[in-house]
Structure 1
Amino acid sequence: MTDERPVRRSSKVKVAEFLAAVGEGKVFTKLQLFEGVPGVAQADRRMRDLRELGWKIDNYKTDPRLQPDEYRLTQIGTRIDLGEQPRESPRPRISAARRREALVRADFACQTCGMRAAEPYPDEDQTAVLSVHLIDPTPPVDTDLSNLRVECQRCYAGVRGGTAALTTPQNVLTRASRLSSREERRRLYRLMQSGRPERDEVDLIFGEWLRLGREDRVDVMLKLAGALIEEE
């Protein structure tokens, strides 16, 4: 008698099948993901693994318009659920140790806007989440520190999502030459050397103030206003 037991499908294949059914451009929740692939305990992790196969999946870190429990399937990659094989080897992972090195080098701050990890954005009810990305992903991929950049979710979404226009070396040099003083040009050079924005004491105090509770923020603001009136 022939053994006709069904072929066991991997968790990643099951998740790919679910996402393909959702369709490109569609939004789904984490709950829908887990319900769509019953029996897969780490469906969200298997979904992240699919990014190495060309699947582009946004979350609130890469697209601030999404809620924390929402995802958007931007592009379907290799259809491993249909038996397709990857056209090229997966991109090398950035090791946890190397990510830590990059974060320490950046002083745990976004190298584009200067926001620190878990610091609230001044203009919305959201805190900064930092991640480490490759500057140049062209194979063969180099995971050396010089090819890594730390960014918050808003800066990463802006550049990768196409909302920020790409510049050229000449544009940067032209704008630098138009700075009004030598001190500004020297400060720009220091920023280029450090690889991250400088934040003065006012910015740092404001960030601390944003971490206070609502009543404490109001109290501190009113006391500062009183001090300013006394100085006049």
Structure 2
Amino acid sequence: MPLPDWRDDKTGGTMIRSGLWLVLEIGEGNVFTKEQLRDAFPGVSQVDRRVRDLRKYNWVILANTEDSHLLPDEQRFVKAGVAVWDRNERRKADLAIAVPATDRQAVFERDGYMCTVCGIGGAEPYVDDSNTTAVLEVARRKSILPSGEEDVLLVTECKRCHTGARDKTTDASEVLAEIHALDPSDRRRLARWIDRGRRGSTPLERAWNGFRRLPADARERVQSELQA
């Protein structure tokens, strides 16, 4: 089966198209330059990063720090890995790639130790099932950016939401449409949340979030102090 055309925007995001460009235009074992890459994808921001993203799919692409025969602006395309233009192959690879512990902690902190889908906190019981508490995990979520480019981003989700939305794709254009539909006061409030990097909250909510992040023994001691 012939490979998709890397020049066609409908083929996929820049990472996919750059992988096809490497296979079809450069070839395994050959050297390419940053200028060639920019010329192939004019006006595309962070195209270098998209090529680097191929490495997590077992593509071998060396820089001059890894191959002493290369100049600073050169890279060597050694070997292709997962066929990222094949959705099934890429999805299987995404599920197999472990998220490093440091990245997991950073994502949890960024998301306030809450599921980004339903808002429940870690170890918090579900409203509709008080015998079950939420277990948070960092999931890879396929997303469509405002430019139309696809990317796989890390988000905090509880296991229940992750199971229910495993193959769901988020679309930034839909979010923008919802934001534009807000009345001006809500839009200004949202803008403040975005500037701060977190949702606005009351002192009560902040105290509750701080309490539930404590280890179990510490929560028991705080509870004892409050009941004294």
Judge same fold: TM > 0.5, yes or no.
no
TM-score by length of 2: 0.38
In terms of fraction of residues, the more strand-rich structure is 2
Q: Which has the higher contact order (CA 8 A, sep 6+)?
A: 1
TM-score (norm 1): 0.37
